[in-house]
Structure 1
Amino acid sequence: MTRPLLLLGAALLFCPVLLAQQIKRELGDFDFTLGTTPSRSMAQGLISPGAIGAFHGGLDFSHPSGWYLGQYAPSMGLSPDSTLRLDSYLGYKHRFDSSLGYEVGLIQYSQPNIAGPDSYALYGGVSVLGSRFGGALRDTPDHRTGTLFADFGQLPLLGVDVTAKLAHHRLGKPFTLGDGSQVTGFSDWSLAFSRPWLGIDLDLIYSDSDLSGSGCDAYSGSNTYCDSMVTLKAQRRFF
C-alpha cells in the first residue's frame, strides 16, 4: 500500500459531504470500502486501535475469490501531539457456509515519519456461528508478541458486543528495574463491552497485565495502562 493511496483515503474521509459511517463501492471485480473503523474481520481485532482524539480511517479492497488488501491509519498525524501510523494488510478469507469459515493474512506496522524498521504480524482465525476466534504472531528485533483474540458477537437481549484479547510479550533484551531485577517478558489482557446508543459508540473496557509497581516501567504492551484499569469511552462518528 502506497502513500498516494492513503492520501486519497484521507481526502475522502474528511470530505464534508460524506455522511455514512462506511462507504462501499464496486470497482471492477473488487468491492471497495472506506470508513473510520477497520472493515476486516480478523484483522480488525489485531491491528492497532485508533488513538483517542486522533483522526483515523482506512481503505479496503476485496475480491470474490477471497483475497483482500487494505490500509488502516490508527492515527493520521494531523495534530501536533500525534504521528502518522499505518497498518497495511493482505489476506485471504474463505467461508464453507454461513456458519463456518477461516481467514489468514499478513499485517505491516509502520510509522513513516519516524526512523526505524517496520514490523510484521502473521494472523489467522476461524468464524463459527457468528463468533470469531483469531491469533497473531508479531516479531520485531526487540519485541515478540503472540496475541489471541475472540469476538463473541452480540449478546442476546442486551445488544452488547463482547470482545477479549490476551497477549504475551517477550522482550529481545531484559529490562532492568531500579532494584536490579530484570523483566524478560509479560502478559496483558482486555475485555470490552460495546454497543451503540443515540448515534454514539459506547465502550466499557477492562484491561490489566501481570506487571505491577516498579515492574510497570518495563511495560510496552497492547493496553494504554499497565495496571488494572476500567475505561468508559464514548465516540461519535462523523460518517
Structure 2
Amino acid sequence: MTRLLTPLLLLPLFIIGCAQPQRMERELGDFDLTLGTSPSRSMAQGLIQPARIGAFHGGFDLTHADGWYVGGWAPSMGVRDESLLELNAYAGVFQPLDERFGYELGVIQYSLPEIDVERHQFYSGLTLNDHQLGAAVTYAADRTDGTLLLDLALANPFGLDLRVKLGTHLLEQPVMIGTRPIDAFEDWSLSLSRPWNGARLDLSYSGTSLQGAGCAAYSGQNAYCQDFWKLSLVHALF
C-alpha cells in the first residue's frame, strides 16, 4: 500500500523546505485543494494533528463539496543524517448536521519506507460549535492503542484563542518498563494564540502522566512526553 501512496504524497514536495509555515489554496471545480508546509487539516476535528519533525516537511489536502477528503502529509523528508523519511496518507468524510453539530470518520496510514514500518489509525469525531470529542484506534505490528480526546475552545476576554486538549490512551499490550507494566496513560496541552503585528503569537504547554523511563511507552498527541513549553511567532508569506 505504501508503494501506491508514495507518488501521491510526492505532490507537495515542491513547496517543502521553507522554515516559515506557508499555505496555498485553490478551487478545482467541486474540490478545494490546499498545499502547505503546515498541516492543512486536524483530522477527527482535533484528535489527530500531524506534527512536523524536521525543517523539510509539507503536505496537501483535497476536499470535495460533499464533505469527503483525501490528503497526504510528510512530517519529515529524511534529508538529514539523523532523520527518516515519513509519508502519511489519509481519507475521510466530515458531515455537518446543522450549523453547530457535525461528525467525522476516516483512516490514516503512517509509513516509514526506509525501515519498512507501517501503522494504521481509524478515527472518528463529533463537533459541537468549536468543541470536539474524538476517538481513534491505532494498529501496528507490535501494539494496538486506543485514544479518547477532548478538545475545548474556551472564550477569553483578552482576545486570546485558548484551547485545551485532554487525552486518555489505552494499550492493548502493556509496555514493560523494568518490572512495571504500563497499559494506560494521559496527556494534555494548553495553547494560547493571538494576532500580533500581522503575525501570530503562540504559547503552548504540554505534559503527560508518564515520567522518566516511562516515556518509552508514550505514543500520544504531544511532540514530547514530559513537560514542554513553546513560544513561537509565525508570519505567513502568502
What's the TM-score, normalizing by structure 2?
Answer: 0.80
Shift of 1:157: 3.9
Q: Which runs of 5+ in 2 are unaligned?
A: none
Give the number of equivalent residue pairs: 232
1:75/1:84 contact within 8 Å kept:
yes
What amino acid sits opposite 2:39 in the alignment? P
Distance 1:64 1:226 in 2: 38
Shift of 1:126: 2.3
What amino acid sits opposite 2:171 in the alignment? R
What amino acid sits opposite 1:48 in the alignment? P
Distance 1:54 1:44 in 2: 26
SS at match of 2:115: coil
Equivalent residue, structure 2, for 1:49: 51
- Alignment of 1:113 with 2:132, yes or no, is no
1:161/1:195 contact within 8 Å kept:
no
Equivalent residue, structure 2, for 1:59: 60
1:163/1:193 contact within 8 Å kept:
no
1:62/1:69 contact within 8 Å kept:
yes
Residue by residue over 1:64-96, the C-alpha shift from the partner in whole angstroms, topping out at 9 and shown as x without a partner, is 121111111122223332222222111111123
Question: Percent of counterpart pairs with the same letter?
Answer: 41
- Alignment of 1:135 with 2:135, yes or no, is yes
Taking the TM superposition and a 5 Å limit, the aligned residue runs for 1:191-206 are 191-198=190-197, 200-206=199-205
1:25/1:31 contact within 8 Å kept:
yes
What's the TM-score, normalizing by structure 1?
Answer: 0.80
- Alignment of 1:170 with 2:171, yes or no, is yes
What amino acid sits opposite 2:88 in the alignment? D
> Are the structure 2 counterparts of residues 163 and 174 from structure 1 closer, same or farther at C-alpha, using a change threshold of 3 Å?
closer
User: CA RMSD, aligned part only?
Assistant: 3.0
1:87/1:107 contact within 8 Å kept:
yes
Q: Which runs of 5+ in 1 are unaligned?
A: none
SS at match of 2:126: strand
Taking the TM superposition and a 5 Å limit, the aligned residue runs for 1:31-110 are 31-43=32-44, 45=46, 46-51=48-53, 53-110=54-111
Distance 1:20 1:207 in 2: 21
Shift of 1:61: 0.8
Residue by residue over 1:4-62, the C-alpha shift from the partner in whole angstroms, topping out at 9 and shown as x without a partner, is 232221114459xxx993212222432211112222244463033112x4222211111
Equivalent residue, structure 2, for 1:227: 226
Residue by residue over 1:115-139, the C-alpha shift from the partner in whole angstroms, topping out at 9 and shown as x without a partner, is 22x1111212222223333232222
Q: Which has the higher contact order (CA 8 A, sep 6+)?
A: 2
Equivalent residue, structure 1, for 2:181: 182
Shift of 1:190: 2.2
Equivalent residue, structure 2, for 1:211: 210
